[in-house]
Amino acid sequence: MSTVTISAQDINKLRQATGAGMMDCRKALTETNGDFEAAIDWLRKQGQKVAAKRSDREAKEGVVIAKTTADNKTGIVVCVSCETDFVSKNADFVAFGQSIADAAISNNVKSLDELNAVKIGGATVADLVNDKLATIGEKIGITKFERIEAPYVASYIHGAYRIGVLVGLNKASAEAGKDVAMQIAALNPVAVDAASVPADVVAREKAIIVDLMKQDPKMAGKPDEMIAKIAEGKLGAFFKEQTLTAQAFVKDAGKTVADYLKESGDVKVIEFKRVALG
């Protein structure tokens, strides 16, 4: 039994992230001693279809700007957060976000720390953020910075600066870059392909599949080795839904993204970055 006090705010946060019911969320947090990520897994292990919280859900409101260098060899995406959509939709705030992204590109910034130290008009980005906070009266911050270098990098901004995507390709293809970036914005894959899914993510999904199978009366008495082998097969569905090249292409569901890229001149996706408000 949990010794942690579960607040109504904690329960509501889990409800917002998963869509599960209030009592289920309370139970999940109680069973996992208030661990948010573990509570999501607990709900999934009970057979509930929930939306696992992704790391790109960091800023409540703000703007996400994705840009590339003129030669399309480098791209950056930056999230400048604020507390309300009233501020995020303000033209001055959007321009502020654009100026920070421009500074990242022009100074070849490679990290968030470097970006905060860059100067715009004599003041560092960190100081400008603090000045903006004082002027607006809301908590302002640069909450995410990503960068890609590749033979060709495409950038895409979706939904009034709510999602920013970078796609690194093996060769120049503006059309393929845009199409794949839109795919990533819409379906949020976890990796380029099955081989590039992090081992901990695969282990987590397999553990959930195994737990669900053990709860199935039809699997009663089956040896663990058999269940593990079947679970490996079921991971195929996860890879098909959650990896970019295996997904159905949004513009033509009759082909996969891999099919589309091959038809586009054997274009290959090296890596991608997706940053979203939420």
Pick the residue with more confidence: 145 or 7?
145
The Cβ of residue 259 has, within 10 Å, a number of other Cβ atoms equal to 14
Arithmetic mean of pLDDT, 97-105? 97
Residue 124, pLDDT > 70, answer: yes
pLDDT digit string, tens, across residues 216-236? 888 787 888 888 888 888 888
pLDDT band of residue 167 (cuts 50, 70, 90) is very high
Lowest mean pLDDT segment, chosen from 6-20, 134-148, 257-271: 6-20
SS3 194: helix
> Where exactly does CATH 1.10.8.10 map onto the chain?
1-53
- Decide yes or no: CATH 3.40.1400.10 for domain 61-163: no
Tell me the CATH number for domain 1-53.
1.10.8.10
Side-chain-side CA neighbours of 157 within 13 Å: the count stands at 18
pLDDT at 15: 79
pLDDT digit string, tens, across residues 30-86? 999 999 888 988 888 887 766 444 333 334 899 999 999 999 999 999 999 998 889
Give the residue carrying structure tokens 């699997």. 219
Residue 1, pLDDT > 70, answer: no
The amino acid sitting at 68 is T
pLDDT digit string, tens, across residues 233-275? 888 888 999 999 999 999 999 999 999 999 999 999 999 999 9
Give the residue carrying structure tokens 């794949």. 180
Assess contact for 176 and 169: CB atoms under 8 A: yes
Q: Rounded distance, CA 265 to CA 274, Å?
A: 24
Which residues have a Cβ under 8 Å from the Cβ of 181 and sit 6 or more positions away?
A: 154, 155, 156, 165, 166, 167, 272
Arithmetic mean of pLDDT, 103-120? 95
Strands in 152-158's sheet, in edge-to-edge order, are 152-158, 163-169, 269-276
> Where exactly does CATH 3.30.479.20 map onto the chain?
61-163
pLDDT band of residue 201 (cuts 50, 70, 90) is confident
Average pLDDT, whole number, for the chain?
89
What pTM did the predictor assign?
0.74
Lowest mean pLDDT segment, chosen from 21-30, 89-98, 106-115, 144-153: 21-30
Give the residue carrying structure tokens 């869509």. 19
